Amino acid sequence: MVLHLVPRCSARLFWASPGWRRTYTQGASVGLKSLGCPRHRHSPLACRGYSSASGSPEVILTPERYPVQRLPFSTVSEEDLAAFERIIPGRVVTDPEQLETCNVDWLRSVRGCSKVLLRPQTSEEVSQILRHCYQRNLAVNPQGGNTGMVGGSVPVFDEVILSTALMNQVISFHDVSGILVCQAGCVLEELSRYVQARDFIMPLDLGAKGSCHIGGNVATNAGGLRFLRYGSLRGTVLGLEVVLADGTILNCLTSLRKDNTGYDLKQLFIGSEGTLGVITAVSILCPPRPKAVNVAFLGCPGFAEVLQTFSTCKGMLGEILSAFEFMDTECMQLVGQHLHLTNPVQESPFYVLVETSGSSAAHDAEKLTGVLEQVLNSGLVSDGTMATDQRKIQMLWALRERITEALSRDGYVFKYDISLPVERLYDLVIDVRTRLGPRAKHVVGYGHLGDGNLHLNVTAEAFSQELLGALEPYVYAWTAEQRGSVSAEHGLGFKKKNVLSYSKPPEAVKLMQQLKVMLDPKGILNPYKTLPAQA
């Protein structure tokens, strides 16, 4: 009956953003010490290891780990800094220690060496900055909450970091239509609170919600936990304001559900990871806040039964089904072993979490109970439990959501984020497990089954080039054979740009490169990302 407002495990992995009040006072004087990369400031856990000063090992510079050559961009000069200072007085950051967190991604896997962080507050300032960079041939790394998984949000070399952190104003909210218009730097969790207070919800929800910016969500076409119910950002984002490489402001910030006047340009920028333009404002359609949320956690004897349970839920729950997640028994062992979470049902080869969100607690509970009776009686499910109160709902969600955390405590983790036809989804996990044998500590599969999205994770005592060689390109080739996606929701960024061709034909890659050249002829926007280097 209560709305599911659980922060889930995000607090463990990300840090809570500055409060709403703070977000709204940014128009006043904002000192240089208020950085765009919040982790560094606030979270003792997150801070740990973020700079060499803290005592943990420094992250190796990206060009030292990866075969990448700096392109012939200009280098930031004193004159450039003076020009930036004229555009955004007092918001040009050059202190190396302050720059450290913005140069390193949150997974601590890549590290740039940018010498300057710019913190504009308006689209006009972004426009002036880009106009200058374009004229001077300076490369730019647009940065939101820096919560990406593929190294797309930090510089590779010395790109100018352009942070959206101070662009955090709600521009308008329409309480009949649920259309929210806001600047790109608004933190997702803050927006969630804002619209929930008005009886709506954001159409997306992510573990990183406490840090990620809505502009970054759109730039990476973030998926997440509400995708099954509310669909892709390509449908829910109604308008964008974008600054192009040369500083042109492209205002497509409409608040219309329907608009068939010419090509839908905003789609170019959704999911383009900052390589085609810098998103400065977003118009997004928020669904009404559901009045009732129920969660069931079920044990299934096999993957075939998981699939049949999914079909049953789709058929019987219909419009109230809001999540269908799965995890295998190894995931359950890991959350038990490392996090001491208790399995609420009898041990099973697979577990599924079913969530409903609807407008009548009584109706929804009746529907879900009907499903549970059917799947238990037919043997699709061997045991199950259902929660309607928030505490138990949180407990059940934690089993699924804290898998990432449990894995990180198990050792070095090789991570794959794959889309596959659902009936083949788990075959990849079995194949990889067989292929690696005792070389891997654990090979686990879990994810958003309702969206055909598998998270395949492999743990080992430490990073091993040999294990990596056994995994890649095997996993990508396997996925390509099923016409799957080698990046379901994480994007390509820096670390996956070279696997694009496993999911896209050469004609598509060529057209993407043409688009890049058309929109960013000097290639200054987030270089070395998303697209493979041209031959």
481 burial level (CB within 10 Å; 0-12, 13-18, 19+):
exposed
CB of 395 to a copy of itself, least distance (A): 25
490 phi-psi bin (left φ>0, alpha ψ -120 to 50, beta other): alpha
For a copy of itself, the closer of residues 468 and 518 by Cβ is 518
CB of 365 to a copy of itself, least distance (A): 11
Give Cα 248 distance to the centre of its chain: 27
Q: Which long-range contacts (CB under 8 A, 24 or more apart) does 108-111 make?
A: 108/49, 108/50, 108/59, 109/59, 109/151, 109/495, 110/59, 110/62, 110/65, 110/66, 110/151, 110/154, 110/156, 110/494, 110/495, 111/58, 111/59, 111/60, 111/61, 111/62, 111/154
Query: Which residue from 220, 84, 74, 272 is spatially nearest to 158, judged by alpha carbons?
Result: 74
For a copy of itself, the closer of residues 89 and 263 by Cβ is 263
For a copy of itself, the closer of residues 338 and 504 by Cβ is 504
For a copy of itself, the closer of residues 15 and 350 by Cβ is 350
Q: How far apart are CA 495 and CA 414, in angstroms?
A: 13
What would the two tokens of residue 158 be? 């010395």
Taking a C-beta distance cutoff of 8 angstroms, is the pair 432, 477 a contact?
Answer: no
CB of 388 to a copy of itself, least distance (A): 17
CB of 425 to a copy of itself, least distance (A): 11
Q: What is the DSSP string of 229-245?
A: HH--HHHHEEEEEEE-T
Residue that the structure tokens 């396997």 belong to = 478
For a copy of itself, the closer of residues 260 and 377 by Cβ is 260
For a copy of itself, the closer of residues 11 and 265 by Cβ is 265
Q: What Cα–Cα distance (Å) separates residue 275 from each residue in 403, 450, 515?
A: 32, 30, 10
CB of 138 to a copy of itself, least distance (A): 22
CB of 266 to a copy of itself, least distance (A): 9
For a copy of itself, the closer of residues 84 and 494 by Cβ is 494
Q: Quick one: DSSP state of residue 101?
A: H
CB of 341 to a copy of itself, least distance (A): 27
CB atoms within 10 A of CB 320: 22
For a copy of itself, the closer of residues 337 and 359 by Cβ is 359
CB of 270 to a copy of itself, least distance (A): 7
Query: Which residue from 201, 181, 214 is spatially nearest to 283, judged by alpha carbons?
Result: 181
CB of 437 to a copy of itself, least distance (A): 30
Taking a C-beta distance cutoff of 8 angstroms, is the pair 150, 493 a contact?
Answer: yes
442-448/453-460 β-pairing: antiparallel
Q: How far apart are CA 442 and CA 454, in angstroms?
A: 16
160-163/117-118 β-pairing: parallel
DSSP SS3 for 358? strand
For a copy of itself, the closer of residues 38 and 151 by Cβ is 151
Residue 332, CB-side half-sphere exposure with 13 Å CA sphere? 21
CB of 314 to a copy of itself, least distance (A): 5
CB of 77 to a copy of itself, least distance (A): 30
For a copy of itself, the closer of residues 15 and 528 by Cβ is 528
For a copy of itself, the closer of residues 34 and 453 by Cβ is 453
